[in-house]
Structure 1
Amino acid sequence: MKHNPYIYILLMAIVTLAIRILPLTLIRKQIKNKFIQSFLYYVPYVTLAVMTFPAIINTTASPISGLLALIVGIVAAWFGMSLFQVSVGCCLVVFILSFIIH
């Protein structure tokens, strides 16, 4: 039996639209529950973290260099460095460790 890709595309489109349209049609009032507000506030950050952190460690030639770059980036951001400075620091850590490890 051959699978029809158009059925999969249609199903994916329906699910994507339902996720975006249903909240707009079902919830018309402002959400006053503090738990739900805080949950919805942090969802984008959690989603970004879940997608980014494994890539940081697995993209480099060695997971050790990725992990150390992640730690350097967290410390640099903690001390108020700009995004450019943090990214340059992380890249330098990976670059230097790639020569040391290999």
Structure 2
Amino acid sequence: MSMTMAAIVLGMSVVTYIPRMLPFVLLKGKELPSFWQNILRNVPYATLGALIFPGVLSFHENIVFALIGAAAAFLIAFTGANIIITVLGSIGILTVLSLFM
């Protein structure tokens, strides 16, 4: 690896490390207001929606299959399951559905 590439990797690691550590250092021992806690609690589900929705719209084969997958993910997330269970559950439902279609 050249020195330029090593410097780029080191620089990128510093740039991503600092924003991740600043909240831990600056907010240590402090509690966020309940308003902000409620907003941050919904970030994983908003991210999941942002990842799934474009895939549903750009699905090329059978749009019904994509809509069923999105509905399954929505329903699983609505029950309060964490994001990993939501993704794996939706994949599982579509896998079983593809066996019968």
TM-score (norm 2): 0.56
Higher Rg of the two aligned structures: 1
C-alpha deviations, 1:2-31, integer Å up to 9, x for none?
xx3333312220122112211111112332
Is the 1:56–1:67 Cα contact (8 Å) retained in structure 2?
A: yes
SS at match of 2:30: coil
- Cα-to-partner distance string for 1:6-63 (whole Å, 9 max, x where unaligned): 33312220122112211111112332412211122222332233234434665x6515
Give the aligned partner of residue 62 of structure 1.
Answer: 61
Runs of 5+ consecutive residues of structure 1 not aligned to the other structure: 97-102
Q: CA RMSD in A?
A: 3.5
* Counterpart position of 2:23: 23
Structure-1 residue corresponding to 2:44: 44
- Are the counterparts in 2 of residues 56 and 66 from structure 1 also a CA contact under 8 Å? yes
Q: Identity of aligned pairs, percent? A: 22
Aligned length: 89
Measure, in 1, the Cα distance between the counterparts of 2:16 and 2:89. 37
Unaligned 5+ residue runs, structure 2?
A: 80-84
- Which moved further from structure 2: 14-23 or 39-48? 39-48
TM-score, with normalisation over the residues of structure 1? 0.56
